[in-house]
Amino acid sequence: MFPQSSSTQNKQTITARAHANIALIKYWGKRDTSLFLPTKSSLSISLDDLQTTTHVSFSQTQQDTIILNGKVVTNKTNHISSFLDTFRSLYNIHAHYTIETSNNFPTAAGLASSASGFAALAKSLDKLHNLNLSSKELSILARRGSGSASRSIESGFVLWHRGHKPDGSDSYAQKLFDRSHWPELAIVVLTLETNKKPVSSREAMQKTIATSPFYKTWVKNSEARIAPMIEAIRKKDIHTLGALAEKDSLEMHHCMQTATPSINFLTKRTKAAIAHVQNLRKPAQPGSAGTPCYCTIDAGPNVKVITLAPYKSIFRDLSHKIL
């Protein structure tokens, strides 16, 4: 279907929502930076309570207006503006928009809002223009805003296929299981620091590819973890899932740390939190079971604990206790 031409644009406001996701098997590195094509597949779980809500309408001027968490974005070279230009050129659209987008979680909480943000924006533009894009097409579109956004179109356990085609048409995310398949699996975010990142993930990932001697091995090992991870989710096996996720994330950070110059997102408090979680899962006495808990860390200092619902309360105030 063809998009509406500017003469038939109305003043309708469209609203769309998307939720955040946490990668259990990480995406770190692009093989094509302009198309946002990853070097490997990744797999995530949605955080359904953490959402971005986006309202989009046609602008009555020849300019986009972007309001992010209540503040007008004045910098013209921001990622949202680049994404809108990509969208216009992909679908041969000449319209401009007024976009109001907000998260129900604080950006300082240690969760990337770009995944839910670009997924909600892709969905709202699709609705505004009546494009009727499929979930696969929406994922490919959201990917052009931020790689991890490709995994926020669907909820539940989602696999972003690396793909092999140079045009990126086979690099999209697909739901493997509903969240209801394993509702007891829980993620607790330990907010340890709220400072801005020293380096953006976009820059850090490409520096890692270019200079870390361990990057190629990580890509190979990480890709090989996808199949056992899917099996662990299918069987609801927290120990296999947790061990794979923790290893994948720590090895990703090792690659960054061995890049030149070294990139380090992990602070003293991050390391203390990891050690605490690893200690908790050791059995108190031989034969007894430890707490089922594992860590995963993205491009920042905060730790996400992977555990089961009955154990969540153990971690609730942990960030205050870590020195």
- Residues in contact with ligand PMV by CB under 6 A are 23, 26-28, 42, 112, 114, 146-148, 201-202, 298-299
Q: What are phi and psi of 38, to 5 degrees?
A: -80, 160
> In this complex, which beta carbon is closest to ligand PMV, that of residue 27 or of residue 172?
27
How many Å apart are CA 212 and CA 94, to the nearest integer? 42
> In this complex, which beta carbon is closest to ligand PMV, that of residue 187 or of residue 299?
299
Q: State the minimum distance, in angstroms, from the CB of residue 253 to ligand PMV.
A: 9
> In this complex, which beta carbon is closest to ligand PMV, that of residue 124 or of residue 148?
148
Q: How many CB atoms lie within 10 A of CB 302?
A: 22
Q: State the minimum distance, in angstroms, from the CB of residue 323 to ligand PMV.
A: 26
Which of these, 119, 156, 136, 153, lies nearest to 24 by C-alpha position?
A: 156
| Chain center to CA of 298 | 9
Cα dihedral: 141, 144, 148, 149 (round 10): -40
Q: State the minimum distance, in angstroms, from the CB of residue 4 to ligand PMV.
A: 30
First to last CA, the chain: 57
Residue 45 near residue 130, CB atoms below 8 Å: no
Q: What are phi and psi of 15, to 5 degrees?
A: -120, 135
Alpha helices in 162-261 (DSSP H): 201-211, 215-224, 226-235, 238-257
> In this complex, which beta carbon is closest to ligand PMV, that of residue 93 or of residue 159?
159
Q: State the minimum distance, in angstroms, from the CB of residue 114 to ligand PMV.
A: 5
> In this complex, which beta carbon is closest to ligand PMV, that of residue 3 or of residue 300?
300
Q: State the minimum distance, in angstroms, from the CB of residue 46 to ligand PMV.
A: 12
Type of residue found at 85: D
Q: State the minimum distance, in angstroms, from the CB of residue 20 to ligand PMV.
A: 10
> In this complex, which beta carbon is closest to ligand PMV, that of residue 147 or of residue 301?
147
